[in-house]
Structure 1
Amino acid sequence: MSAQHEAGRVITHRVLILGAGYAGMSAAIQLAARAGRREDVQVTLVNPQERFTERLRLHMTATGQRLAELSVPELLEGTGAQFVRGWVTAVDADARTVRIDDDRVLHYDTLVYGLGSLADTAAVPGVEDHAHSLNSAQDAEVLADRLGRLGSGTVVVGGNGLTGVESAAEIAERHPELNVVLLGRQEPGAAMNAKAKAYLQAALNRLGVVVRSGVEAVKVLPDAVQLAGGESITADVVLWTSGTRVSPLAAAAGLTVDERGRIVTDAALRSVSHPEVYAVGDAAAIRQGYGVMHGTCQGGMPTGVHAAVSIVRTLNGKQPKPFRFGYYHTPVSLGRHDAVVQFTRPDDSPRRIHLTGRVAARYKETVTASPWPTYGRMKKMPASGAFWPRGGRFTRIQEVR
C-alpha cells in the first residue's frame, strides 16, 4: 500500500468502483457515507456517462415517455466520493490498475467491479446489424424515434422474458396502430404461478400482442426474423431482449470467471482469485444456497451495499461477513395502468400470492422509483445502518462497526 498526497490529505487506501448502475451506485454511496470523509480513504466511481440509466424504465423511454434525467455527480454530491467519466478499456488485476479510454491509468487498493451486463446481440446472426436493444437510454431513445415515425407495420420483440413482456406491452399500448409480436422459447410468465401467468397472458391478449411461444429465432434480416424450421416473420422493427452477456474485461484481467464471464466470488463477494476485488450486480457469479443469483436490480443493490460494508469492516481490521440474499417478488408492468406482481420464495420460486391490475401497477411504480430515494437515504444514514428497498419498502440492516 502506497500513500498518495492530495490537497493536504495523505491517502493510504484507494477504492475504485467501476460502473454506475444500481449495484455500483449503491456501493459508491454506501461506502462514501461510511468512509468517504475519512482523510486516509479515497472513493472514486468510474462511469462512461454522467447520466444515471434507469434500466427498470427503459421500456418507457423506448416508447417516447419523458423521464427525469438523473445525474451521477449529483447523486454523489456531498458524499466525498469522486466521479471520473470514462470507458474502462482494461483492468490489470496484478498491477491493480484500470485504464480508461483517454489513456488515463487509475490505481486502486480495493476494486469494486460492477460493469453489469448487456443484451446478448452476438448470439444470433443479424441482431447486431438489424435489431434494436435496450442497453442504454440512448438506445431506447433511438427506438422511440423509429417507432414514432413508423406509422404502421409490425414490431417483433425477440425474447419473452420480463424485459420482452414489459416492452411488448408498452409498445402495444402506446402505439395501437402497430402490430406487436412477442416471440420466445417459453411462455411469457413461465416462472409465475398459474393464476399470475394466466393474467399476464390475458393482458397481452387485450393489448393485441401476438404471442409466439416455443419458437427460436435463428437469424434477423433487415425486414424479417427467421425461425428455426424455416418460417419467417415479417418485421419493420425488431427489438432484441433475449439473453445477456457481460464485458470480457474481467476474464482478460486474469480474474477467475464462470462460463458466462462473470467474476466468481467467495461468500463475502470477493474474487476467489484476487480478494482485493469485489464483484457486484450482474458482473458477479454469486452462489447462494439455492444456486447462483441471476441479475436483477432487486439483487444488485444489496450486493453493492454489502461490498461497501465489507470494505469498511476490512479497513477497520475486521473480517467481512458472508452475503445472504433471498428474492422477494417479480413485478412486471403491462403498460402504464396494469401489472402483475408475483411474490416469491427466497429461491425465486413462485408463492401463491400475487397482485394484478392497478394495485400491482402502483406497486411496480413504487419499486421502480425506489432506487432514487434509497440513494438519498444512504447519503444521510447513520454509520451503523444500511438501507435498500424490499417490496417497495425500506429495510434497515444493522451492522456492527
Structure 2
Amino acid sequence: MAAIEAAGGHRWHLLSRDTLDDRYEFLSARRQVLESALTGLADRAPHVEVQRGVGVSGLLTRDSGTGGAPLVHGVTTDCGERLEAGLVVDAGGGGSPVGAMLGDLQHVTDTALPPDAGFDFYTRYFRSPDGTLPPRPAWPLEHYDSVSTLALPSDNGAWSLTLVVSRRDWVMRSLYEEHVWDRTAALFPALTEWVGYGRPVTGVLATAGPGTRRRSVVRGGRPSVTGLVSVGDAWGTTNPEFCQGLSMALIQAELLCEAVRAERDPARLVLAYESAAQEALGPFYATSRFWEQNRLAEIYAAIRGRRFHGGPDWTAVMAMEAAKLADPDVLTAISDIGSMLAAPVEAMSRPEVVSKALSLAAGSPAPAPTRATLLSTLSR
C-alpha cells in the first residue's frame, strides 16, 4: 500500500471523510500506476526473478504416480525454455491462455450470454488545474434507466467518470464520440460537478466488460489436474462496475499462501485452496452473476419499450439501491456488500433492512434522466 501511495495513489472513504471506521476506506490508482508500483516491489524482492516479454506456450505435465489427476510441474516458454515449478499459479487474467492448454481438464461456468450481450464501458479521465479532487458524490455507482454511472477518484489528482450500457443497446454506441459523451454525462446530477471541476485528459476510452465467469479445476469434489491454481480474473471474472476484482485477487493470494503452508500433497493443496476461495468469494461471484443477468434483461426490456418484471430478489436489490441514502441501516448493508465485509445474503437478512428499503422505495420517483431523454440527447 505504501508503494502505491508513494506513486500517487489516493485514499478515500466510501461513506464519509469524517468517520473513524477505516473498514470502508479504499485506495485508488490507475492500472499503469498500480502495476508500476507492484513491479517495482517484485524487482526488489529477494528470491524473485521477473521475466518480461516472455510468454508461456505450454504446461509440463506428468502422471501423479498415484493413479490420480495429472500433475503440472512447470511450463514451457515461447523461447523454448522449460521452467520447473512446485506449483504453477495462473494469474493471466480473464483471457489467460492456460484454459486452452488445459482443454477438458478445466471446468468453466459461464453466464451463457450470447457474444452480443454484456456491458460496455465509456470512460473519460479528468484532472483539475491545481491537482485537487472535486467533492465526492453521495455514492460512486448509480443506476438509471438504461445507463449506470461510475465516479471514482484516481491517483495524482485525477479521476474517472464512466457510463455503463448494455452491449445490445446499439444507440448507445455513439458514446465513443467526445461531444456525445459530454452531452450525455451532463444529464446525470451525480456527475455534473465532477465534469465541470476539471478538464478531460483523455478521450473516451471504450471497453467491453467481461462476462461473469468462473473457472475451476475441481469436478465432483476432485481436482482434474494438480500442481496448478488460478488467482484473479483467471479464477473468475465479475462485473467491473462493482470494483471488486482486485480485492478478490488479494484475498485469493492470502488464501493460497495459507493452503501452501498447510498442505504438502498436490491434490489436497488444490482442494484446500479452491474450497477456501469458494467459501470466501463464491457469494460475491454469484451476486455479480445474478445482478448482471437481471440488469441486462431490464435494459433489453426498455429497448423494446416494455417493463421488466424481476423476481422478489431483484425487487429487493433495487429497493435497497433506491433507499440506500435514506436509511442508515440500508446504507450500512449496501456498504458492507460493496466493501466485501459481509456476504450479500447475510447483509440483506439483517432485521428490517429489506422491509425498510421496500417501504422507502415504494414512494420514491425513478431517478432521472429517463430513457426518452437519453435518446433525445444522443440523437442531437
Q: Same fold (TM over 0.5)?
A: no
Give the greater-gyration-radius structure (CA).
2
Q: TM (normalized to structure 1)?
A: 0.35
Greater percentage in strand: 1
Greater percentage in helix: 2
